[in-house]
Chain A
């Protein structure tokens, strides 16, 4: 019975890493196709998003089965409950990356790369997602904390980006549709950053048993 439990925990960990890697690749793909205005690769985002949704359901059922059949306690319970929370965040990251990918064709070949803060947001968000997954894989609290700190970079860049766009619209320098699209993408990046932060917090919880929000 126990060895089966351990096997299932190993499987859970494996699936979590796989799902994390999927998110990582999706956000990298979306950021890449956004900055290079590559509509073809943006189209691939949808199927990858579906794959992430499927993995979420799979992991969810593994977790529930473990909770019901094995009634884990202490660390195991923490790992499983943290996994349940993390997949929600991962799934949200996937959805929002998909949303960005949907906007790309409407940018008409523009990339937003002319704004340093926009580029910074795209790159910093990708790094946050990668680092949060890395923190999970290596169970590295230091890296998780670094992700939490990195969130401020994305938030600040979003604030600056917003100001720039407001200024542009008010001075009638920019095409309104383009500006709004950029603002939405920037907001999605900011949200993805928040989800990566959540993942990092849950990593910390599953290792130490203390959640930041508590």
Chain B
């Protein structure tokens, strides 16, 4: 801006300066020329009169540095000259002014000198004696005049530069001040040049538009963040250079990051060759899926390309926690193995006994023992199958008829059934507490209490004790089964509610039981939305508390 103003000021100054010098010079020069010519003519007239009267001798006393007089006779020979010896001068017959004077009595001409810096004016008059008198005067030419003026011109140009510089500085400031002071946040509130008004209005409109768009984009991105942030699966978006665009909270937890990761290379957070390869593949548009174990959990990675019109824009990585799934898978496999084993064992025993009876290898007196064996094993099989049926009923979450159940009544029923088993093992059964009613399925509650008491008796010591306590503290009914039995080591606490899980790995028949009892308890408790808690110590006994 300033440069431009400087240039224009300086150019204007220079042009004006040169033009005025040119015009003034030409006018003045003409004027001087004319006046000199007039003066020369006047001088010549006076001198001519005098020479006509006195004769040529007058010129001998004539002394002038400005004017020079020459007398030429009819054949052009110089008779006299006021500045140079006449004998040394050449013939003047061919000079323009002389010729003119001989012809018409008067003549004049202008000639440049050889150096071009001067020019000479000539005026000639025919004297009465037939000679010609010529007056001449020198004057400098325009060129010489201009050259003479050059130093002065330079000084003026120099001054013009300085003046233009300062003037442009202040002018630029003044001109640009309203522009630089524009409040671009509120374009229409400005009082500036009216030429700027359309731009400012346009700016204002665009401002509003941008604000609106930013707001909607922000809202969308917030929505996206909210949705992505709240899902349990890890979600990572990468751009086409595998730089992280976004990583949700779940993913941060999985990859162990706790800072903002936007713009970082994903390699920093997961450098396993499986992931690197999957990302490489995804960038080529290929889909990949794999499972990996991280910090004790099992994750399933799904890596996909984000494509738009055939071009890969980035990569999306979804990480599912499949620990439970993997765990359930293991449980299912174990269950199948267990259930077949448990079903097969009594059958093998039955088949064995039956074969022995068939082949007649059994002595007559032992026959009853073998038949009893078959019956016992068959009963065991039926019990097992009944347990499995009950479990699967609970699994299917059948809505059974709920009713008001008195816990004390159920406990008494159970005690009645188990009394003989208890006395066989020499275990004392005690019931404490008072009657307390809950709303539930009687059959399931019976199962819960029966299985807990059955276990308490089965895994008790000779002369042990089982206490069944019912309490109703501030409206939350609670039933505890406390035994003085062999207890359960802590490492089994988590698993005893699994199907067929036995603390005693030999699946010994000695204690009996199907291995499904506690599993049934767990499911029945869950059905009632109750909570079961276990407290046990090896050698001291076990306490199971169920809170309804």
Binding site for B on A (CB under 8 A): 10, 13-14, 17-18, 20-22, 24-25, 133, 137-138
Answer whether residue B170 sits at the interface, using C-beta atoms and an 8 A cutoff.
Answer: no
The reply to whether A21 and B273 contact each other, CB–CB distance below 8 Å, is yes
The verdict on B276 contacting chain A, using a C-beta distance below 8 Å, is yes
Given A17-B271, A24-B271; 10 other pairs, CB 8 A cutoff = A17-B265, A17-B267, A17-B268, A20-B271, A21-B272, A25-B272, A25-B273, A133-B271, A137-B267, A137-B271
Residue pairs across A and B with Cβ atoms less than 8 A apart, 13 shown, are A13-B265, A14-B265, A17-B265, A17-B268, A17-B271, A18-B267, A22-B273, A25-B273, A133-B271, A137-B267, A137-B268, A137-B271, A138-B268
B267-287 CB mask vs A (1 if < 8 Å, else 0) is 110011100100000000000
Whole-angstrom CA separation of A25 from B270 in the bound complex = 13
Enumerate chain A residues within 8 angstroms of B273, measured Cβ to Cβ: 18, 21-22, 25
Distance (whole angstroms) from the CB of B172 to the closest CB of chain A: 36
A14 to B, closest residue via Cβ: B267
- Across the interface, do B268 and A21 meet the contact criterion of CB distance under 8 Å? no
Bound Cα distance from A14 to B271, whole angstroms: 10
Complex Cα distance, B265 from A43, in Å, reads: 32
Q: In the assembled complex, which residues on chain B have CB atoms less than 8 Å from the CB atom of A24? A: 271
Q: How long is the Cα–Cα vector from A10 to B263 in the complex, in angstroms?
A: 13
Chain A to chain B: the 4 pairs with minimum beta-carbon distance, closest first: A21-B271, A17-B267, A17-B271, A137-B268
Chain B residues within 8 Å of A13, by CB:
265
Docked complex Cα distance between A14 and B266 (Å): 10
Chain A: minimal CB distance from B430 (Å) = 49
Identify the closest chain B residue to A137 (Cβ).
B268
Name the B residues within 8 Å of A18 (CB-CB).
267, 271, 273, 276
Considering the complex, give the chain A residue whose CB is closest to the CB of B271: A21
**Which residues of the partner chain A approach B265 to less than 8 Å between Cβ atoms?**
10, 13-14, 17
Instruction: For A18, give the chain B residue with the smallest CB separation.
Output: B276
CA distance A24 to B276 in the complex (A): 14
Minimum distance in angstroms from B533 CB to a CB of chain A: 36
Q: For chain B, residues 242 to 279, give those with C-beta under 8 angstroms from any C-beta of chain A.
A: 265, 267-268, 271-273, 276
Q: Which residue of B lies closest to A51 (CB)?
A: B273
The residue in A14, A18, A24, A25 that gathers the most chain B C-beta atoms within 10 A of its C-beta is A14
Tell me, in angstroms, the Cα distance from A21 to B268 when the chains sit together. Answer: 11
Instruction: Provide the residues of chain A in CB contact with B268, threshold 8 Å.
Output: 17, 137-138
CA distance A20 to B267 in the complex (A): 11
Inter-chain CA distance A22–B276, complex, in Å, is 11
B271: A residues at CB distance < 8 A: 17-18, 20-21, 24, 133, 137
Q: Which residues of B contact A22 (CB under 8 A)?
A: 273
Complex Cα spacing A138 to B265, Å? 11
Q: Name the residue on A nearest B276 (C-beta).
A: A18
CA distance A25 to B276 in the complex (A): 13
State in angstroms the CA–CA spacing of A24 and B274 once bound together: 13
Residues in chain A near residue B267, CB distance under 8 A: 14, 17-18, 137
Residue of A nearest to B267 (CB): A17
A206 smallest CB distance to B (angstroms)? 15
C-alpha gap A137/B273 in the complex (Å):
15
Question: Nearest B residue to A24 by beta-carbon distance?
Answer: B271
- B286 → chain A closest CB, angstroms: 19
A133 to B268, CA, bound (A): 10
Kindly provide the distance from the CB of B294 to the nearest chain A CB, expressed in whole angstroms: 13
Q: Give the CA-CA distance A25 to B273 in the complex, in Å.
A: 8
User: Could you tell me the distance between the alpha carbons of A14 and B272 in the complex, rounded to whole angstroms?
Assistant: 13
Q: Which residues of B contact A14 (CB under 8 A)?
A: 265, 267
A164 to B276, CA, bound (A): 42
Q: B296 to nearest A CB, angstroms?
A: 15
Bound-complex Cα distance A17 to B265 (A): 11
Shortest Cβ gap from A108 to chain B (Å): 29
On chain A, the residues within 8 Å of B272 by CB distance are 21, 25
Q: Which residues of B contact A25 (CB under 8 A)?
A: 272-273
Contacts of B276 in A (CB 8 A): 18, 21
Instruction: Report the bound CA distance from A18 to B265 in whole Å.
Output: 12
Nearest CB on A from B535, distance (A): 34
Q: In the complex, A21 Cα to B265 Cα: how many Å?
A: 15
Chain A CB within 10 Å, residue with most, of B265, B268, B271, B273: B271
Cβ of A20: which chain B residues have Cβ within 8 Å of it?
Answer: 271
Q: How far is the CA of A77 from the CA of B229 in the complex (A)?
A: 41
Cβ-closest chain A residue relative to B275: A21
In the bound complex, residues from chain B placing their C-beta under 8 Å from that of A17 are 265, 267-268, 271
A21 (CB) vs chain B CBs: closest residue: B271
What CA separation (Å) do A25 and B268 show in the bound complex? 16
CB distance from B258 to the nearest CB of A (A): 12
A22 to B273, CA, bound (A): 7
A165 CA / B152 CA spacing, docked (Å): 109
How many whole Å from B81's CB to the nearest CB in chain A?
84
CA distance A24 to B270 in the complex (A): 12
- 8 Å CB contacts to A: which residues of B21-78? none
Nearest-neighbor residue (CB-CB) of A20 within chain B: B271
In the bound complex, CA of A18 to CA of B267 (Å): 8
How far, in angstroms, from A20 to B268 measured CA to CA in the complex? 11
> How far is B265's CA from A137's CA once the two chains are assembled, in angstroms?
10
**Complex CA distance for A20 and B273, rounded to whole angstroms:** 10
A142 CB, min distance to chain B CBs, angstroms: 15
A17 to B273: give the CA distance in the assembly, Å.
Answer: 10
Query: In the complex, how many angstroms separate the beta carbon of B133 from the nearest chain A beta carbon?
Result: 89
